[in-house]
Structure 1
Amino acid sequence: MRIGFLFNHSAGHQVAHSLPVALALRRLSNRADIRILVSQGSEAEVTRMLDREAGPRPDIVRLAPPAPLARAAKRATGGAVPADTLSVLRRNLDHFRDLDALVVPEKTSLLLKTHFGLDNLKLIHTRHGAGDRAIGFDKASGKFDLVLMSGAKIRDRLSDAGLLRQDGHAIVGYPKFDLPPRSPRPRLFPNDRPTVLYNPHPSPALSSWYSMGPQILDWFAKSDEYNLIFAPHVMLFQKKLTASLSPFALGWNRLPDVRHYDLDHMLIDTGSAASVDMTYTDAADIYLGDASSQIYEFIRRPRPCVFLNPRGHAWRGDADFAHWQAGPVVETFDDFEAAFEEVPMLDPADRQRQRDLFAYSFDLDARPSSERAAAAILDYMGRA
């Protein structure tokens, strides 16, 4: 039984959602031939995670890189068109054709079936993150042979949209939580100020960065009350031009002011491993953000949250913004300043809401989530 795990992205933020499953599957089954297929953008994070594992490594297949024309098309569009990702799929069809199943954390790989003729290949979706954005529950989300879900929330939303296949889904928990814990809690600053994590999403339709972000960084730069970790979604600065499709919006990016990098109470990280392995969600005291699914990793331990809604979304009662129930929502920069005039505190009602949101999003038990996911794959492949 040949099972591939594909990491075909220009950044490494999806790796922790699938690689622990590959390692667990290798431990649980001696009849599964596990292959790790990596493109250049994900290889560094795959290697970093494997370096922390004991025992022999699974086979790593370095995929043929994208064609020069595809790289040029990506550059010409400021990164808005992922021509390189599509080119990697096309140029490595022989690797995919040799598999019984392919496990992926993203949806672009559906093209292997819909456009590249690999009808017999079983596609298994681990998803990445447990967020609420509408794109996580679009029609493509229902086209996989097997979907592995973090908890009841994902199941319910896919079911409500008519996207669950009978015998093609399983709730398995959150394999990213199986990463080795850091103890003690990371200490990132030479003082004891409250530490705020500002974690904007790249989507122009939802992100606070394009209209408020630089001004927020300036405010914290002048503050003698707070430390700030600025760790946006790793894709925010990967593209000069970012597009969101539902609803449609465009965003032109500009990097943080160079002055902010030299302040001892500010940490600017636009894409290191620490920005994707929960270092900052563990270290911060307060969360400031908009649409990133990392909010759910943050509230694993309830703490104060403040959400930014500069586009004035009518969010109440909308499942796409369920995480905004975890704290106050502000719409203007003046409201942001008022929210941080005094150090935000977590009141009992918000604490309980965070616990409820977390429990609905993650079904966790004594068995590691990666093992539950591996067992679900073996069960499905045995039936298939």
Structure 2
Amino acid sequence: MTSRQPNHKIPETNIKKRIAVITLKSPAHLYHCVPIACELAKNQKFKVDIYTDTEQTAALIKALTEDYNVSCRIQILHPALGNRLLNTLTRHPARAKHIISHNQDKFRHYDCIISPDFYTAPLITTSEKNRPVHVFTFHGAGDRAYGFKQQLCLYDLILVSGPMIKQRLGEEGILDCTHSVETGYPKFDLLHHTAPKKLFSNHRKTVIYAPHFQRKETSWYDWGLEVLEYFYSSRKFNLIFAPHVLLMTKWRRRKSIPKRYYTSPHLHLDFGSSNSIDMTYTQQADIYLGDVSSQVYEFLYHPRPCIFLNTKKVNWRHNPDFTHWQ
């Protein structure tokens, strides 16, 4: 893979610099880049446009910009007509590469493109002379190897949440071909812009169960229904079942969940509302129960007990992909 060695800066002029923030696929990704967009929009030197791919995500972005009291142009991107028709027929969401390739011309006049997704810099093609500065924000703070792909070398700047992520980037050789800066975790800014919400009216301790979606790593397929049954029968705990938003995208997986769990006063099931992705649940729970999701780091904004389900019998000790278990 060809690496990038940043060698250019945005020149100082009185003309506003144009910044595009692109967040596609999962609405959960917006909270890792839109707070950055909102802070940049407060600066009169920048004009900030935000691009996404669904009405749902656009509405969440609009609400967040209003909380910040800033104005950003929000635009929904679509793939070519043929891909749109195919997506409608198959009921599958548009693929990011089709969206990016169909909208290349929109991105070529920007000075900087910011995204939490791995594919923007590889897919946006421009001449070297007109190439925007590409900034990567991550979309979580997980430890798994998935988050440290070599294609990050195609970005000019990587924003990292802390020294642990930066160290891992160095170990993977990514910092040899690009730059990074520690910024903290942008999503934590939400805690200053949103009011806490209370789910349960009792005095029980609340557990959040947040399994990941990857079949090879999630605890859901092995123990998930047993977990729900345990808490359904419990007289001691409330349970928030808020899995990764991609786990329950297929309806047949939801159908496997007994209806009695939905009506229990001490169980709350959420498969993808804004509450499931904006830290409402991780901040409300007393105990975290999960596997490999990076949500655990959001839960640990206020340190509390964590329990990890090792259903795959992973040798996790001294494994950098499981730092959050150690």
Question: TM-score over 0.5 for the alignment?
Answer: yes
* In structure 2, distance between residues paired with 1:190 and 1:118: 59
- Give CA-to-partner distance per residue, 1:92-147, whole Å, 9 cap, x none: 1111112122100011223324xx45652322101111111110112123331110
Q: Give the match for residue 286 of structure 1.
A: 287
Could you tell me how far 1:321 is from its partner in structure 2?
0.4
Check the 8 A contact 2:67/2:193 in 1, yes or no.
Answer: no
Q: Give the match for residue 192 of structure 1.
A: 203
Higher RCO (CA-CA < 8 Å; seq separation 6+):
1
Check the 8 A contact 2:211/2:244 in 1, yes or no.
Answer: yes
SS of the equivalent of 2:134 reads strand
Could you tell me how far 1:153 is from its partner in structure 2?
0.6
SS of the equivalent of 2:307 reads strand
- Aligned ranges 1:76-225 → 2 under 5 Å: 76=90, 84-113=95-124, 116-117=125-126, 119=128, 120-165=131-176, 168-181=179-192, 186-225=197-236
Check the 8 A contact 1:36/1:58 in 2, yes or no.
Answer: yes
One-letter amino acid of the structure 2 residue matched with residue 58 of structure 1: C
21, 46, 51: which one aligns with 1:5:
21
CA pair 167-311 structure 1, distance change in 2 beyond 3 A: closer
- Give CA-to-partner distance per residue, 1:177-204, whole Å, 9 cap, x none: 1114389854311211111000001111
Q: State TM-score, norm by structure 2.
A: 0.86
Q: Give the match for residue 14 of structure 2.
A: none
1:311 aligns with 2:326: no
CA pair 65-130 structure 1, distance change in 2 beyond 3 A: same
- Unaligned segments of structure 2, at least 5 residues: 1-16
Could you tell me how far 1:322 is from its partner in structure 2?
0.8
Check the 8 A contact 1:101/1:122 in 2, yes or no.
Answer: yes
CA pair 209-58 structure 1, distance change in 2 beyond 3 A: same
- Give CA-to-partner distance per residue, 1:195-224, whole Å, 9 cap, x none: 100000111111101221122112211211
SS of the equivalent of 1:302 reads coil
SS of the equivalent of 2:175 reads coil
Q: Give the match for residue 63 of structure 1.
A: 77
* In structure 1, distance between residues paired with 2:120 and 2:175: 18
One-letter amino acid of the structure 2 residue matched with residue 59 of structure 1: R
Q: Give the match for residue 45 of structure 2.
A: 31
The CA RMSD measured in Å over matched residues stands at: 2.3
Q: Give the match for residue 249 of structure 1.
A: none
- Give CA-to-partner distance per residue, 1:235-269, whole Å, 9 cap, x none: 212257xxxxxxxxxxx844433221111000001
One-letter amino acid of the structure 1 residue matched with residue 243 of structure 2: P
* In structure 2, distance between residues paired with 1:46 and 1:193: 34
Could you tell me how far 1:74 is from its partner in structure 2?
8.9
Could you tell me how far 1:75 is from its partner in structure 2?
7.0
Q: Give the match for residue 18 of structure 1.
A: 33
* In structure 1, distance between residues paired with 2:195 and 2:142: 27
CA pair 314-71 structure 1, distance change in 2 beyond 3 A: farther
How many residues are treated as equivalent by the alignment?
306
Q: State TM-score, norm by structure 1.
A: 0.74
Check the 8 A contact 2:79/2:94 in 1, yes or no.
Answer: no
One-letter amino acid of the structure 2 residue matched with residue 271 of structure 1: G
Check the 8 A contact 1:12/1:44 in 2, yes or no.
Answer: no
Check the 8 A contact 2:108/2:126 in 1, yes or no.
Answer: no
* In structure 1, distance between residues paired with 2:322 and 2:193: 30
* In structure 1, distance between residues paired with 2:139 and 2:35: 13
* In structure 1, distance between residues paired with 2:88 and 2:161: 33
- Unaligned segments of structure 1, at least 5 residues: 241-251, 326-384
Could you tell me how far 1:70 is from its partner in structure 2?
5.5
One-letter amino acid of the structure 2 residue matched with residue 5 of structure 1: V
SS of the equivalent of 1:227 reads strand
- Give CA-to-partner distance per residue, 1:154-186, whole Å, 9 cap, x none: 110000110014662111111111114389854
Q: Give the match for residue 52 of structure 1.
A: 67
* In structure 2, distance between residues paired with 1:263 and 1:75: 36
Check the 8 A contact 1:39/1:65 in 2, yes or no.
Answer: no
Q: Give the match for residue 375 of structure 1.
A: none
One-letter amino acid of the structure 2 residue matched with residue 230 of structure 1: F
